[in-house]
Structure 1
Amino acid sequence: MRRLRTAPVAAALAAAVALAGCGGTGAPERAGASGAEPDAGQVRVLARAEQILISRCMAARGFAYAVTEPVREEGAARSFPYGLDDVEWARAHGYGGRAERAAAEARAADPNQRYFHRLAARDRAAARTALMGASPTGLSATSPTGMTLTASTEGCIAHAQRSLYGDLAAWFRAKVVAMNLRPAQEERVRRDPRFVEAVGRWAACMKEAGRPYASPAASRQAAAALTEGLAPDRADAAETALAVTEATCATSTPLGQVSQALDRAYGEEVRARHRADITLGHRLQNAALPLAERVVSQYDRATSSGGSHD
């Protein structure tokens, strides 16, 4: 069984937001049920509250931590895990290169990233320990992909999540499951013989179009190679031309329909297998909402009045 430890500081700074509202991908339960999936607004409140609690904890340990909003990747929000199958989207966005560059620039400008990078090596190590704990031990959970992830029960991320969700081990387990439902789902689709056969027919279409790539993944890798070193406008044009060809072949062969049907079927199967942990995560999120709303309300009032954020 594969094991994966927690990410370095740069990734953890983003993950501290994303992990707060990982939610399930299945149909929401009846309104008012304790296991009902939180809506998008509630997820944002939970994420913001976690950021605020991390910031307070880091300040108490002598380090800065800015409360930031997640980077929004406009235009690249759609996911095509099995290959582009929307010709109009491909014409408008290519593979999403423009949006990816904008998102990368926004991440590079993140005040927490800049703060950590400016610290001297010794202080950076101390700040990392304050944020994530000394070592990724104490929490362990196996994801739907079979990978075991570990994290620390110490540090400000753990402190914030314990404050919100109470049972840190249960939240970590539910979070790991929720974040890896889609990877497990996609893994099953790609192994299915029907998908493999559809990719073969797609590859034949691509070869006829002068793009001899064996898979959509190979096509995307080729796009990266084709655009390397080009000015942004020329890179976008080259990327878009290849993306449109990929999408045209996906819609003119069975690949688009087959991948969508398999994705739905395996998605239901994966969610059913992990329903207990999905529901547990929703229950923990719903129970945390009253505290999260108070934390956010107090912070916003203090911010607007120019007072303390604590």
Structure 2
Amino acid sequence: MIGTQWTTGRSGPAVALVAALALASLASLTGCGAGGGAGHGAGRGPRPDAGHAARLAAAPAVEPTTAQARTLARAEQILISRCMVGRGFAYAVTGTAPESEERRVFPYAVDDVEWARAHGYGGRADRADAEARLADPNQRYFRGLSPARRAAARTALMGASPVGLSATTPTGMTLTASAEGCTAGAQRELYGDLPGWFRVKVITMNLRPVRESLVHEDPKYARAVGAWAACMREAGRPYASPDASRQAAATLTEGLPADRAEATETALAVTEATCATGTELARVSRALDRAHGEEVRSRFRDEIALRQRFQNAALPTAERVVRQYPDEDGPSGRSGAPSDTSGENHG
């Protein structure tokens, strides 16, 4: 989450900035932010105009399409870039990669044998993601800055400190962010009521852990895991839970060459999936996930509807921002491989 920090975190300015940039191209729901006029580099943007509440109330409470979500994410990146350039830093407008089959999430157990045979536990995708983060133009740019310039860039992007915005997740964790900086300025320009957007975003983006916790705590899931564990023991994999199986995969592959690590991971994932589908675990997990998902959505239906209204009310602004931005292949480039304007040599 861009600009969001936990007071117990261990990250210093350089680490925090790299973490922020690693996630800067995610959809707008993942960008938790700070304040400041994104278009002009100001520290504190204007308060919501008088018509904002009316536009928000009139917006439909329907989930934006994938294309609309990408428009919101791209507009936020463009506004951040404008603001950072106004403050003397480069910032490339990066895209958001579509979800791929390789990056499926299995919160209860891998339960697709063919997927496991092709992808193991997804370790190859994780390694590709790590390489992509290292190659990210913004990360390369910030790594090349001197410590003083990097700290200044962090402040420009995320504000001086995580103060001004605060919200509590459904799991009880309090998240805070700065009410200043280019990230928050971009979000303020899009969504108008930054504290309101921050709160509803923090709540709705943390609903999955609530649902998954309810499934893991359900006695039906525990019984299904018991049957799965018996199957695993018979296959020579004495793991008490899918979590234990996943941890074993990490231990077994540590230090191995990439091809052997992939083969070892895949073999264990295939056994896990075979036992999940050969017992009631796959069926029970899916049924419980649906049931508890409906329960959680019902409990937080007002917050979900408000998030959707925020997003739909922001779409006209986002579409205008994206239309005004030069084409990726136009004379201005893709916002470009960033280059510092301070005259430093970054190697």
Query: One-letter code of the match for 2:247?
Result: Q
Q: Bigger shift: 9-18 or 206-215?
A: 9-18
Query: One-letter code of the match for 1:13?
Result: L
Gaps of 5+ in 1: 24-31
Q: Select the residue among 26, 43, 49 that pairs with 1:18.
A: 26
Q: Which has the higher helix share?
A: 1
Contact kept, 8 Å, 2:167 with 2:176, in 1: the verdict is yes
Query: One-letter code of the match for 1:4?
Result: W
- Evaluate the alpha carbon distance shift between residue 308 and residue 39 of structure 1 in structure 2; reply closer, same or farther with a 3 A threshold: closer
Contact kept, 8 Å, 1:20 with 1:47, in 2: the verdict is yes
- Evaluate the alpha carbon distance shift between residue 16 and residue 168 of structure 1 in structure 2; reply closer, same or farther with a 3 A threshold: farther
1:91 has 2:117 as partner:
yes
**1:308 to partner: Cα distance:** 11
The aligned counterpart of 1:304 is: 330
**1:266 to partner: Cα distance:** 0.8
Give per-residue Cα distances to partners, 1:6-47, cap 9 Å, x unaligned: 982222224443251469xxxxxxxx9611110000000000
Q: Select the residue among 164, 168, 174 that pairs with 2:190.
A: 164
1:239 has 2:265 as partner:
yes
* Identity between Structure 1 and Structure 2 (%): 66
Q: Select the residue among 129, 133, 151 that pairs with 1:125.
A: 151
The aligned counterpart of 2:104 is: 78
Contact kept, 8 Å, 2:81 with 2:91, in 1: the verdict is yes
**1:253 to partner: Cα distance:** 1.3
Alignment of 1:212-291 (within 5 A): 212-291=238-317
Cα distance between partner residues in 1 of 2:62 and 2:30: 13
**1:123 to partner: Cα distance:** 1.3
Contact kept, 8 Å, 1:61 with 1:130, in 2: the verdict is yes
Query: One-letter code of the match for 2:112?
Result: D
Q: How many pairs align? A: 299
- SS state at 1:38 partner: coil
Contact kept, 8 Å, 1:139 with 1:150, in 2: the verdict is yes
Gaps of 5+ in 2: 32-57, 336-347
Q: Select the residue among 58, 61, 73 that pairs with 1:47.
A: 73
Give structure 1 regions of 4+ aligned residues with deviation exceeding 4 angstroms: none
- SS state at 1:140 partner: strand
**1:104 to partner: Cα distance:** 1.2
**1:169 to partner: Cα distance:** 0.7
- Evaluate the alpha carbon distance shift between residue 128 and residue 115 of structure 1 in structure 2; reply closer, same or farther with a 3 A threshold: same
The aligned counterpart of 2:229 is: 203
- Evaluate the alpha carbon distance shift between residue 93 and residue 307 of structure 1 in structure 2; reply closer, same or farther with a 3 A threshold: closer
Q: TM-score w.r.t. structure 1 length?
A: 0.90
